[in-house]
Structures are given as structure tokens and as C-alpha cells.
Amino acid sequence: MLPMRELGRSGIKIPPVVLGGNVFGWTADTAASFRVLDAALERGLKAIDTADVYSRWLPGHTGGESEAIIGVWLKERQNRDKVIIATKVGLDMGNGKEGLSRARIFQAVDESLIRLQTDYIDLYQAHRDKPATKLEETLGAFNDLIKAGKIRAIGASNYTAKRLAEALSVSKAHGLARFESLQPLYNLMERKEYEGALQDLCVAEGIGVINYYALAAGFLTGKYRKLEDAAGARGGTVRAYCNETGWDVLAALDKHAARLGGTPAQLALAWVLAQPGIAAPIASATKVEQLDDLVKAATLKLDAAALADLDVASA
């Protein structure tokens, strides 16, 4: 059994790695998604993160594809009580359906519940800060949804330290539910957004951090060893990491993976888990065998030498 961690003060307990649902309906079709979801649950990876907008970026897609696949899986397997579902609201779904106004949040949550084929969402997250909408309105809407039993807890994604602090202050001043989680971009190749003021705030306030792109779009698995390898659906993102820093990080991962008996992906996730404030990194999988890295990373402890080398290589 994987150890479980409480997400902020929400009472929700999650495993030390969250399964990313962005690939469902994108690089994993329904059958492949079901295989991954079945195997993940068998391995104790019971928390799944998705969003209403996944995968609207594909030609012919309208958004909601990932939620819909998860919903069919939940209905067919009859396992809703065994799974933690996190999804998001706020990005453009077309036809003016975007933002974090009260009306949009109320509309979006019902649409997500229908696609997910459930009557509640465990963690409902503001996908991206929308300064045009007052925090009182957004947090008030979330608070009412918690009272209605449609969601259990709320989180923020892609918020700055300043705005997250403001949101926490508004919640406290008005007696509203607060953001219990933060979903920032964070991995060995992308450290600037989280480290510093944002990390300090999350640690001080006890906010659980579930960072996305924990494996840098797959770069940190070691799959890409030269620029020419960066092809396919995620090639554009990966090419940005094919530089001197990237090769240094891979070299450090290789060195300590061989010494500790792990893989580059396992060490990359273990490094994230060793950082202050991190509750669980988010990592996706399109094949069942990729889940083994996620499970092993959850119990892999890096020693001082490995942590120091990875810190230097990725600085």
C-alpha cells in the first residue's frame, strides 16, 4: 500500500503521486485510458487530475474528452468511492464559456459532473487566475458548491504568490472555504515559478502542492537524448529542454539512478517529493508499464549526494 498524504486541511487523502488525466482522449484512446486507469487503481494510484478543457486543443475536440472517458470508466467499474477525482474550471471552452464568475462556475461544475457521471467532485480547482473577477465572487461560488455537496474542497492552479495570498485573506475575512491545494508548473527543468515566495507561502499556510509536468513532458524519463528525438505530440515542449542544462540533468539522473537502483523518471519524481510543500506530483501515463515508475518513485528516498547533484545540475 502506498502511503497517503492529506491535501491541505481538506481531509482528502491522496497517494504521493497523482495520475494526470490530460492524456486521456489525446495520446491515449479510450481503451488505452481504461487499461491505465485499471492498473493505476490496482497499484494504489487512486487520485486522478483532469480538467474540463482537456483536450480542446485537438482538431475536432470541444473539451471534456478526458472527463468523459473517466466518467465512463467510473460507471462501468462502479468504483467511484475508491477514487479521488480532481478537475478544473476557468479556461476557454468556446462560445463564451470561460472564466471564474459565479455563473460560469455553477454552469461548469454541472457540465463536469455530467461528463464524469458522478454527483460530487473531490477537488475542484480554478485552472488559472482571472483578475477581472473579484476573488469574493469566485470563492463565494466555490463555498456554496461545497455546501451543496457538489464539491468537497477547492484548489488553485497557476496562481502567483501574491494572488494566492490575497485569496487566502479573502477566505479568512469572509468565512469562505479556502484553497487547500496549489497546482504549479514544477520539475527539475522548471523551478522558477514555484520556488521562492510561492513555496514559502504554501509551506507556511499548509497548502498541499500537486505540481504538474513533474516529468517535464516526458523529458526527465530519459527518452529524449538528442534534439532529433523530440518528435510526436509533445515534441514542441520537449525541444525547449534539449539544451546544456537538460543534458546535465539527465546525466545526474543517470548517475544516481545506476547507483540507487532506480530509473531517471523515478529519481526525477523522488526529487520533487523531497521538496518542501509538495504533497504529490502529477504524472501521466499512456501505457501500463509506465505506472511502475510512479509507484516506485513514491517510496524512493534520495540521499544527500543525489539531491545535491540534481540541485546543481538543474539550477
Q: Which residues are designated catalytic?
A: 54
Is the distance from CB of 52 to CB of 89 less than 8 angstroms?
yes
Cα angle vertex 40, ends 38, 44, to 5°? 120
Q: What is the DSSP string of 10-58?
A: S--EE-SSEEE-TTBTTTB-HHHHHHHHHHHHHTT--EEE--TTTTTTS
Residues 6+ away with beta carbon under 8 Å from 108: 52, 89, 93, 97
Phi, psi of 152 (to 5 degrees): -100, -35
**Positive/negative CA dihedral, 75, 81, 87, 89:** positive
Is the distance from CB of 10 to CB of 180 less than 8 angstroms?
yes
End-to-end Cα, the chain, rounded Å = 34
Is the distance from CB of 28 to CB of 36 less than 8 angstroms?
yes
Query: Is the bond preceding residue 55 a cis peptide, omega within 30 degrees?
Result: yes
Which single residue is written with the C-alpha cell 508548473? 185
Residues 6+ away with beta carbon under 8 Å from 2: 15, 16, 17, 43, 44, 45, 295, 298, 299
Is the distance from CB of 195 to CB of 169 less than 8 angstroms?
no
